[in-house]
Amino acid sequence: MKEYRVCIIGGGIIGTSIAFHLAKLGERRVAVFERSYISSGATGRCGGGIRQQWSARMNVRLAMRSVKLFERFEKDAGFDIEYRQGGYLLMAFTEEEAERFERNVKMQREEGLDVEILSPKMVKERYPFINTENLILATFCQTDGHANPHLANFGYAFAARRLGVDIYTHAEVKDIIVQNGSVMGIESSIGSFKCDVVVNAAGAWSKEVGKMAGIDIPTTSYRHQIFVTESLRDFFPFMAISFDGNFYIRQTKHGQMIMGQGDPNEKPGVNRNVTYEFLKSMSEKMTKIFPFLENVRILRQWAGCYNMSPDAQPIVGCSKKVNGFCYAAGFSGHGFMLAPAVGEALAELIIKGSTEHVDISFLDIDRFEKGEVEIEGNVV
Amino acid sequence: MDRRIKSHPILEFEGEETVTFYFEGTPLRAKPSDTIASALIANGIDIFGWTEKGRARGFFCAIGKCSSCLVVVNGTPNIRACITKVKEGMKVERQIGRGMPLWEEKQ
Amino acid sequence: MKTKLLIVGGGPAGLSGAIAAAESGVDVLVVDEGLELGGQLVKQTHKFFGHQGFFASKRGVEIAKILKNRIEELGVKYMLQTTLVGFYEDTAVAYSREEDKTYEIDYDYVLLATGASEKFLVFKNNMLPGVYGAGAVQTLMNQYGVLPGEDFLIIGAGNIGLIVAYQIAQAGGNVRAIVEISDKVGGYEVHANKIRRMGIPILLRHTIIKAIGKDRVKGAVIAKVDENFKVIEGTEREIVADTICLAVGLQPSIELASQLGVEMVYIPELGGHVPKRDENMRTSKRNIFVAGDLSGIEEATSAMAEGYIAGYTIAQDITGKDLSEKINKYKEELADLRRGPFGKKVRSGLEKMGIVLPSGGYRTDLQKDFGPAGKLRAVMECHQNIPCNPCEAVCPTNAINMGGNINGIPHINYDKCVGCMMCVMKCPGLAIFMVQEFDEYSVVGIPYEFEPLPNVGDKVILMDRNGEDVGEGVIQRVIKNRKDKTHVVYVAMEKGLERTVRHFRVPSDEEDEIVCRCEEVTKRDVEKAIDMGFTDFEELRRYLRIGMGPCGGRTCRLITMGILARKTGKSMEEISNMNLRPPSIPISFGSILRGEKE
Ligand SMILES: Cc1cc2nc3c(=O)[nH]c(=O)nc-3n(C[C@H](O)[C@H](O)[C@H](O)COP(=O)(O)OP(=O)(O)OC[C@H]3O[C@@H](n4cnc5c(N)ncnc54)[C@H](O)[C@@H]3O)c2cc1C
Ligand SMILES: Cc1cc2nc3c(=O)[nH]c(=O)nc-3n(C[C@H](O)[C@H](O)[C@H](O)COP(=O)(O)OP(=O)(O)OC[C@H]3O[C@@H](n4cnc5c(N)ncnc54)[C@H](O)[C@@H]3O)c2cc1C
């Protein structure tokens, strides 16, 4: 039977980032098991936004570390991922939201982040194509931005493979073998493998994979829909988002506008169908704030799943109940941007027993038992 | 150049060239039943624009599927010439690369 | 908008389905994105094969009109210039181009009859203006009356390539050659013969290597290929042409079927990916039916039969009436249409779906006898088993018979033939000629569909079956056929030539092979990506952006899969996982805002 030190379940951005960072730390006895193809999960369906302006301090730190790693991505992984630090514009349309933003900015600045507060007039001057009617204020951070999630996912996977990691696609993990409280190996559709450590990076399926090891991962998955338009000339360098307005929008390197929203009435479960209702409500909302969209055509619409945790913060760590069982799940709407820092931290934890760059002990699963939760508010 | 079929053994083509539209500023004639593409080709024009990478682009599928024939119409880019009817006074321009959207001041 | 039965596609399949369902009392709505009802038919100026029940010997444009009149009589509602853009979880959405707005449609049953789209071909400079799809050339010349060039090169000698070449000639264009990579003509021999006798070369075992020109096509380089379709070096030559017309096959338009989540299968004999369906055209979903080219690339006749079967079956479901008699009648017709050698591909394709059809049971021997010299008589040059019988049906003296089955080779009884030339005017393949030998000279009557008609007394150059000049002749008689438009022109010639003459003429740098047009992805890009380690179609798509442009992958999907299959040694079935996403054509925000729910 083939043996590995670490078997990673899930070939999304999280699983491949962990694999890459393990290999970079010198551990090459690593395998990634992906049930379908690379980027088939949420990663290949996401918006690609990278933002450090969060309301929870932990997320700000993780995101700031990730930005450092995204800046080095091409050098580290040898792959151009269309990374662009065009900034992120957070738009508040209610007084309460504006107050929250001002509080957040204070905390973000304490963490060393350079954030501006913009009046509607300033926004209009910078971006004449935005209708700033009803806007109360906006915050802007120039080092935020976006990247192409497919390319980042492939980048980590190819770099890990080059460093000796085995990446199995069309290989589904069916069970995790646990004996006397320790992980012994896995069973998969392509055979059984021995290993000391299993990492649950199964995205929307993290709860099911947790059950294989007898650990309850308190996550629920919800569909999120998204679409792109035809290509336009490059004129929209930043990503815009609003939580009370419930939308996000950016322009890809190829000129297409990509945008989406959350649906508070969405039922839990893995559903990747698309609805017309979504297109209608987006059309109405987005043409008001971005009037240039009226004559722009929509090309393609799809859906992916947010894997939500109770506090909208990720669940990352290694189990104290089952030796060798680690997890990186519950990334809600921000797993793409956190992937570099999370992959690095979890790899450090597995190899060295402690983290070096960002302390992630707060993200461990036991926070829910201890009742130490801080709900992240800056999500769509 | 006029590429209209003058006589045909099976078919009859109706309509006169009563419509005037502008291509890159030049007035051209078209039939009311023409699309922009059929009118341009009838007038001997088959380069409709250039791609982002500088390749000449023309029409290809004629049924609005392949997006090879995008032109700028009255300032709006990405208009499919093959399925858009010509209208009197329409201003058609070659599209070079991607188009720039229009916006109106709504404030 | 509400309807019991929503039909997407108003080609022969969709319209026949509409007729069957509406006749049986079902409320029907047909949505079609074209300018007129009829699908492919509105572009076809040639006469169709088959039998009278399916309007054999009528031209495509006429069949379209007949079907349209019938659905109007039956009160079927239809929307033109309207694309069904998406079957969503919550509703179906159609987009009207004229109104620039969307409609939501509520339905109980769906009949998908979306037909097929043309395949693209990879060669150097294939994106230059002047390289057009065969369907596009047909649309321009037969719907808008515009001929996009003067000198044409046609790629592909299947029925479409042959017919388009003929139609270009009819519209006054010059066809330089038809290039065909395989060692035989894929289309019907009678279509090929119409081309050959005009002197248009059909170059078998040849391929196009590149288009010449900087900003538009000025010519092409073609070359010979060996048994493995590899170019034989040193055989390259240039052809001057301003238009290169691609007729390299069709692929079923499966976007909507895929959105509806019906089970798909990959069956090359049916044109690639097709929805799985039963003998009644029902897919894996109870209320979703398919018919026509979408369910397998075939012909208008079979598309109509399938449409009827689907329409009656749906009506039977909805009304509870027993319509099995009608359904069975069309099933028998279909089985008959597919009995012959040209039905073989479809038969073996359908067998893979578990539908087994009979074959054989028709006459295969040719008539040897050229008839009694001196008598004005018809001679038939129809040598393939095609399901077609207008000659037998029209003959007033019953001189012509197919031997009991529509797929049979026609024979003529010269005792009964009175030389009325009705069969010459009817034959969709233009494969029947009149001959008569006199003491000093002979006369041949040739079916003729070109402008201008010659005048009696005109000197013409005689051509044989291969378009070679074989002498001079004089026009003796011109029989005008105002109704069917296949005229018969009698030419007098030297004795002995009546066996060979079948036509006449009046004397008178950067070289990229593009795979994906929208995103300008080249074949080399695809091959490089596969070499890097991308082995999944979806991965390739996401990496190279193939299919992410406005066309949604229509031109590049199959080509990319083909390259992937070739390079990885995987079968098409294995690499066929794909997600086709709505909307199926781009629609603007504004059109959604102006959308109507009712
Ligand atoms: C519409 C949308 C927009 C988003 N926008 C953003 C954004 O702008 N910025 C941002 O940072 N984040 C965004 N996100 C969130 C982000 O996409 C996710 O948080 C992130 O991709 C999660 O990565 P992952 O690797 O955990 O999951 P995934 O990419 O889903 O990968 C998990 C993989 O595990 C595999 N798997 C599951 N079970 C098994 C098994 N038993 N055996 C083998 N393999 C298995 C799955 O097939 C899947 O490929 C968005 C998400 C959506 C849906
Ligand atoms: C050059 C040529 C010559 C031919 N010659 C013959 C012949 O001699 N004899 C013969 O029997 N057959 C012939 N055929 C084949 C015949 O035309 C086709 O098999 C037949 O038209 C198939 O019918 P259909 O209804 O399935 O599809 P189509 O005729 O292709 O009709 C499909 C319709 O669906 C519409 N549509 C597609 N998608 C959508 C959407 N999303 N929303 C709304 N509308 C949509 C299209 O606009 C189209 O009108 C020929 C075909 C060609 C191209």
Q: What is the pTM of this model?
A: 0.81
C252: closest CA among C208, C213, C303? C303
C591 phi/psi in degrees, rounded to 5: -65, -30
Q: How far B77 CA sits from the closest chain A CA (Å)? A: 9
Cross-strand partners of A22: none
Query: Which ligand is located closest to the Cα atom of residue A149?
Result: 1
Q: Are residues C401 and C496 in the same domain?
A: yes
**DSSP assignments along A214-270, one per residue:** T-----EEEEEEEEEEEEB-S---SEEEETTTTEEEEE-TTSEEEEE---TTPPBS-
Query: Which ligand is located closest to the Cα atom of residue C257?
Result: 2
In angstroms, the Cα distances linking A234 to A48, A83, A282, B99 are: 17, 15, 22, 9
Residue B105's pLDDT band (boundaries 50, 70, 90)? Answer: low
Residue C259's pLDDT band (boundaries 50, 70, 90)? Answer: very high
Q: Is residue C125 in a domain? A: no
CATH 3.10.20.440 fits B19-98, yes or no: yes
Which tokens in the block code for residue C273?
């990916």
Q: Is residue A38 in a domain? A: yes
Looking at the partner chain, which of B48, B56, B64 has a beta carbon nearest the beta carbon of C128? Answer: B56
Q: Are residues C255 and C222 in the same domain?
A: no
Query: How many distinct structural domains can be found in chain A?
Result: 2
Residues with CB under 6 A from ligand 2: C 8-14, 31-34, 39-41, 44, 46, 48-49, 83-84, 113-116, 159-160, 163-164, 253, 256, 292-294, 298-301, 303, 584
- Mean per-residue pLDDT over chain B, rounded: 90
Domain boundary among A291, A306, A321: A306
Q: Cis ω on the peptide bond leading into residue C452 (within 30° of 0)? A: yes
Q: Are residues C102 and C56 in the same domain?
A: yes
Distance CA A17, CA B43 (A): 57
Tell me the mean pLDDT in the region C103-116: 97
pLDDT at position C374? 94
Domain limits for position A279: 85-142+220-306
- For chain C, percent of residues with pLDDT exceeding 70: 99
Q: Cα(A208) to centroid of ligand 1, in Å?
A: 15
- Each residue's pLDDT expressed in tens, for chain A with a length of 380 residues: 899 999 999 999 999 999 999 999 999 999 999 999 999 999 999 999 999 999 999 899 999 999 999 999 999 999 999 999 999 999 999 999 999 999 999 999 999 999 999 999 999 999 999 999 999 999 999 999 999 999 999 999 999 999 999 999 999 999 999 999 999 999 999 999 999 999 999 999 999 999 999 999 999 999 999 999 999 999 999 999 999 999 999 999 999 999 999 999 999 999 999 999 999 999 999 999 999 999 999 999 999 999 999 999 999 999 999 999 999 999 999 999 999 999 999 999 999 999 999 999 999 999 998 887 888 888 88
Q: Is residue C237 in a domain? A: yes
Q: How far B106 CA sits from the closest chain A CA (Å)? A: 7
Q: Is residue C369 in a domain? A: no
**DSSP assignments along A294-320, one per residue:** GGPEEEEEEEEEEEE-TTSS-EEEE-S
Q: Is residue C372 in a domain? A: no
Domain boundary among C316, C351, C386: C351
Q: Is residue A327 in a domain? A: yes
Sign, CA torsion A286/A290/A293/A294:
positive
Q: Are residues A98 and A119 in the same domain?
A: yes
Q: Are residues C449 and C535 in the same domain?
A: no
pLDDT at position B106? 44
Asked if C550 and A297 come within 8 Å (Cβ–Cβ), the reply is: yes
Nearest ligand 2 atom to the CA of C40 is: 29
Instruction: Give CA angle at B28 (B26, B33), nearest 5°.
Output: 145
Q: Is residue A378 in a domain? A: no
Q: Are residues A107 and A129 in the same domain?
A: yes
Q: Cα(C585) to centroid of ligand 1, in Å?
A: 28
Q: Are residues A279 and A344 in the same domain?
A: no
Helices (H), C77-132: none
Domain boundary among C227, C248, C269: C248
Asked if B62 and C139 come within 8 Å (Cβ–Cβ), the reply is: yes
- Tens digits of residue pLDDT in C489-537: 999 999 999 999 999 998 764 567 888 888 889 888 998 899 888 988 9
CB C259 within 8 A of CB C86: yes
B24 burial (CB, 10 Å; 0-12 / 13-18 / 19+) is: exposed
Q: Are residues C394 and C501 in the same domain?
A: yes
C142 phi/psi in degrees, rounded to 5: -100, -20
Q: B–C: how many Cβ contacts below 8 A?
A: 129
Q: Is residue C147 in a domain? A: yes
pLDDT at position C508? 67
Residue B107's pLDDT band (boundaries 50, 70, 90)? Answer: very low
Q: Are residues A200 and A224 in the same domain?
A: no
Helices (H), chain A: 13-24, 57-71, 73-77, 95-110, 120-126, 149-162, 206-212, 276-289, 335-352, 367-370
CB C103 within 8 A of CB C81: no
- Tens digits of residue pLDDT in B79-90: 999 999 999 999
- Tens digits of residue pLDDT in C140-163: 999 999 999 999 999 999 999 999
Q: Is residue C358 in a domain? A: no
* ipTM computed for the complex: 0.77
Helices (H), C353-472: 390-394, 422-426
- Tens digits of residue pLDDT in C359-413: 999 999 999 889 999 999 999 999 999 999 999 999 999 999 999 999 999 999 9
Asked if A232 and B100 come within 8 Å (Cβ–Cβ), the reply is: yes
Q: Are residues A43 and A115 in the same domain?
A: no
- Domain spans, chain B: 19-98
Which tokens in the block code for residue C384?
């393939």
Looking at the partner chain, which of C543, C586, C589 has a beta carbon nearest the beta carbon of A154? Answer: C543
Q: Is residue A377 in a domain? A: no
Q: Are residues A127 and A182 in the same domain?
A: no
**DSSP assignments along B33-102, one per residue:** T-BHHHHHHHTT----EE-TTS-EE---SSSSSS---EEEETTEEEEEGGGSB--TT-EEEEEESSB---
Contact list in C for residue B60 (CB cut-off 8 A) is 131-133, 136, 517
Q: How far C531 CA sits from the closest chain B CA (Å)? A: 24
Least confident of C164-178, C213-227, C313-327, C562-576: C562-576
pLDDT at position C510? 54
Q: Are residues C102 and C153 in the same domain?
A: no
- Tens digits of residue pLDDT in C534-569: 988 989 999 999 988 888 888 888 889 989 998 888
- Tens digits of residue pLDDT in C409-424: 999 999 999 999 999 9
Distance CA A102, CA A86 (A): 22
| Residue B11: count of CB within 10 angstroms of its CB | 18
pLDDT at position C257? 96
Query: How many distinct structural domains can be found in chain C?
Result: 4
Any residues with CB less than 8 A from the CB of C220 and at least 6 apart, and which?
C153, C208, C209, C210, C211, C212, C238, C239, C241, C244
Tell me the mean pLDDT in the region C31-59: 92
Distance CA C111, CA C571 (A): 30
In A, minimum Cα distance to B102 occurs at: A292
Sheet of strand C441-448: strand arrangement: C377-380, C432-437, C441-448, C487-494, C469-479, C459-463, C503-505
**DSSP assignments along C111-126, one per residue:** EE---EEEPP---BTT
Strands (E), C90-179: 92-96, 101-112, 116-118, 131-133, 151-155, 174-179
Q: Are residues C14 and C73 in the same domain?
A: yes
Domain boundary among C448, C471, C505: C505
Q: Is residue C47 in a domain? A: yes
- Mean per-residue pLDDT over chain C, rounded: 93
Domain limits for position C482: 377-505
Q: Is residue A64 in a domain? A: no
CATH number of the domain that residue C227 is part of: 3.50.50.60
pLDDT at position C507? 79
Q: Are residues C269 and C414 in the same domain?
A: no
CATH number of the domain that residue C458 is part of: 3.30.70.20
